Structure 1
Amino acid sequence: MLGPLASLKVLDFSTLLPGPFASLLLADMGAEVLRIESPARMDLLRVLPPHDQGVSASHAYLNRNKRSLALDLKQPEALEVIKQLLQDYDIVLEQFRPGVMERLGLGYEALKAINPKLIYVSITGYGQTGPYKDRAGHDINYLALAGLASYTGRADSGPLPLGMQVADVAGGSLHGVIGLLAAVIARQQSGSGQHLDVSMTDCVFSLNAMAGAGYLACGAEPHCEDQMLNGGSFYDYYRTRDGRWLSVGSLEPVFMKQMCTALGLEELATLGLSPEPALQKKLKEALRTEFEKHDFGELCALFAELDACVEPVLSLGEAARHPQLRSRQLVTEVPRNDGSTQAQMACPLKFSDGLPEPRHIGAVLGEHTDQVLGELGYGVERIEELRRSDEEAGTSTTNSTIRPASPH
């Protein structure tokens, strides 16, 4: 089974989370992804805890099904290797700050001259243009500047760190994949590639969706806990007597009626869609009081029998074991080099023709260097010659242009 993207070949220069999550999706769907990694500057994701058998679990997941080629891009020999690869690989994914790839001789215009069909995807915090294009940033900064954090949190304590990387994943990774695949379709029609500029801040700004539409069209500036869906209504989380939480999303009257009836609050069922803050507060306080009278297990059993949009807040372990997620096969076993397997989150996309089985966890730095160079026609002597050339030039082993393969 090859997968729907088996015709795509991607050179992935990215590190950490945004680019690797994007290329993970591509690789899971069958694309051939070759990571180009610096032997001198390790991807910090490789050392991020926790570790499983000495390997970062995050790296093993985000970089599964990809090969690793170690190249020092500051060396002329490395650029020659990239140019040869471009005869066969027609997609480049990178997330350096603007101008870095150009200084390395690997900018879009330079590579386009080698392969006019090249699709070149740049994922950055602020984009290739604008006053912030060279500024450093992280997920929390992009959410802040895009306005999303201003109404996500509690009125008395302010914005909340969300715990997962919305800008990196929903902004950079998913929009990067969407744009890349759109460019592939356009290339099928025009025969030409193009450069895709993906700004995580831009993409997060578009995720404001309903709140952003309301502000731009009507001037309605959202704040923490003043919207229907951000804590300003009954739509919220409620603590149980034993300190657990349940989520309540019973927006439609039919769901609200079921929930209130189950809790003995039938008289409040009509308040769900009321725009009056005072009535929403009354409903919310009544729900808070009633939820705190019962233990988590009791409420889970009660609402399991109802279709009321009330669900428990689960830990990751509980979520992985939940019958719905288990039935959807969202946990898979991925091979290690020693023949054992590691449990990982599976690709969430379901194709009627299926997807290829996971091939291996994230590769060791440079694990496939000899293999890739061999495919380009480099013999053993030529590979060794390149290594000796580096050593004679005074380059240390860790800074070698060509790094020998090493086992997990």
Structure 2
Amino acid sequence: MVGPLASLKVLDFSTLLPGPFASLLLADMGAEVLRIESPTRMDLLRVLPPHDRGVSASHAYLNRNKRSLAMDLKQPEALDVIKQLLQDYDIVLEQFRPGVMERLGLGYEALKAINPKLIYVSITGYGQTGPYKDRAGHDINYLALAGLSSYTGRADSGPLPLGAQVADVAGGSLHGVIGLLAAVIARQQTGLGQYLDVSMTDCAFSLNAMAGAGYLACGVEPGREDQMLNGGSFYDYYRSRDGRWLSVGSLEPDFMKRLCTALGLEELANLGLSPQPAPQKRLKDALKVEFEKHDFAELCAMFAGLDACVEPVLSLSEAVQHPQMQARELVTEVPRGDGTSQLQMACPLKFSQGLPQPGHIGATLGQHTDQVLDELGYSVERIAELRRAKVVL
């Protein structure tokens, strides 16, 4: 079986999370992805714990189905290899700071001259322009500057460090893939590629969605726990008697009525419909009291058959075993390459014609160097010369 993106061939120069997650999605959907890795400056994701049989689980997941060519891009012979690859690979994904690829002779203008159909995607923290373009940053910084952290968290304790990398994944990775595929469609019409400047901060800023729309159009500045969906209403998490948590999102009247009836608070159901803080606080306080009268298992059983938008906060181990996750086949077995397999999260996209089964976990550094150079016509002797000269690993 081939995936819907089987016609795409991608040179991936990225490391860590944003670029690799983007190319993981492409590879899962059938694209051929070749990672170009430095033999001297390791992708730190390779050593990130925890490890499975000496291999980083994160690296094994984020880089599955991709080949690895280890090559020193600072050497002239490496540029020759890239130029040859561009005859066949017409998408480049990179994640260096602005100007790095240009200094290596691998900028968009230089590579476009070799292949005008080239689609070139640059994922950076702050984009290719602006006073912050050369500034270092991480996910937490992008969320802070984009305004998202200003109304996320608790009023008395401030913003919370999120467990998921929202700016990296929802910003850089997903927006990068959306833009890349849009450029592919445009190329089908024009025959020409183009350059995509993807800023994780820009994309995080767009995730303000409702709060940002309200501020720009109406001047309403959101704060922590003062909006309907950020803790300023009953829409929140509630602790059980034994210290577990449940989520309550019973926004619609029918759901609110079922929630309150289940907890013996029928007379308070109308409070959930009020936009005013006082009724919301009264309802929220009452819900806290009632939830803390019951153990977690009792609450789960209470709401299991009740369509009230109340769900337990599950650990990862519990989420993996949940019937919904299992029915959706969100865990898959990926070959390690030694006859065994590793459990990984599956591609979440469901196509009626299906997707190809994962081929292998993330490759070792330079695992496919000889194979790729052989495909380009390099002799065994020439490959050995490049290895002795430390051009390739």
| Range class of TM-score, shorter chain | over 0.9
Q: Which amino acid aligns with 1:347?
A: C
Deviation at 1:401, TM superposition (A): 1.4
- The structure 1 segments of at least 4 consecutive aligned residues displaced by more than 4 Å after TM superposition are none
Distance between the aligned counterparts of 1:402 and 1:23, measured in 2?
22
1:243-322 superposed matches below 5 A: 243-322=243-322
For the pair 1:34 / 2:34, whether they are aligned, the reply is yes
- Name the residue aligned to 1:159: 159
CA distance in 2, matches of 1:32, 1:215: 43
TM-score (norm 1): 0.96
- Which structure 2 residues correspond to residues 93-242 of structure 1 after superposition, within 5 A? 93-242=93-242
Name the SS for the 1:299 alignment partner.
helix
Cα displacement string for residues 249-280 of structure 1 (whole angstroms, at most 9, x for unaligned residues) = 00000000001000000001111120110100
Deviation at 1:74, TM superposition (A): 0.1
* Structure 1 Cα separation of the partners of residues 35 and 5 of structure 2: 17
Q: What letter is aligned with 1:21?
A: F
- Per the alignment, in what secondary structure is the counterpart of residue 25 of structure 1? helix
Aligned counterpart, 2:68:
68
In the alignment of these two chains, the number of paired residues is 393
Most deviating of 271-280 and 143-152: 271-280
Q: What's 2:391 paired with? A: 401
Q: Deviations over 1:346-400 (max 9, x none)?
A: 0000000000000000000000000000000011011012223x1xxxxxxxxx2
In the other structure, the counterpart of 2:16 is 16
2:339 alignment partner in structure 1: 339
> Which structure 2 residues correspond to residues 367-386 of structure 1 after superposition, within 5 A?
367-386=367-386
Alpha-carbon separation, structure 2, partners of 1:117 and 1:386: 29
Kindly provide the amino acid, as one letter, of the partner of residue 324 in structure 1.
Q
2:16 and 2:82 mapped to 1: Cα distance? 21
Aligned pairs for 1:386-397 (under 5 A) are 386-388=386-388, 390=389
Report the TM-score when normalising by structure 2.
1.00
Over the aligned positions, Cα root-mean-square deviation in angstroms equals 0.4
Residue-by-residue CA offset, 1:230-262 (whole Å, 9 max, x unaligned): 000000000000000000000000000001000
Distance of 2:242 and 2:122 partners within structure 1: 48
Q: Which residue of 2 aligns with 1:406?
A: none
Matches of 1:361 and 1:29, distance apart in 2: 15
Q: Match for residue 84 of structure 1? A: 84
Can you give the 5+ residue segments of structure 2 that lack an aligned partner in the other structure?
A: none
3-state SS, counterpart of residue 114 of structure 1: coil
Distance in 2 between the 1:386 and 1:313 partners? 54
Give the distance between the partners of 1:186 and 1:9, measured in 2 at CA. Answer: 17
Residue 224 of structure 1 and its aligned partner are, at CA, apart by: 0.3
* 1:402 partner letter: V
What is the distance in 1 between the residues matched to 2:292 and 2:34? 53
Distance in 2 of aligned mates of 1:304 and 1:344: 28
- Aligned letter for 1:72? D
Q: Tell me, in whole angstroms, the C-alpha distance in 1 between the residues paired with 2:125 and 2:344.
A: 28
Q: Which amino acid aligns with 1:329?
A: E
CA distance in 2, matches of 1:91, 1:364: 23
SS of alignment partner, residue 69 of structure 2: strand
Note the C-alpha offset of 1:210: 0.2
- Specify the SS of the correspondent of 1:187: helix
> Residue in 2 aligned with 1:44?
44
% same residue: 87
Name the aligned partner's letter for residue 26 of structure 2: L
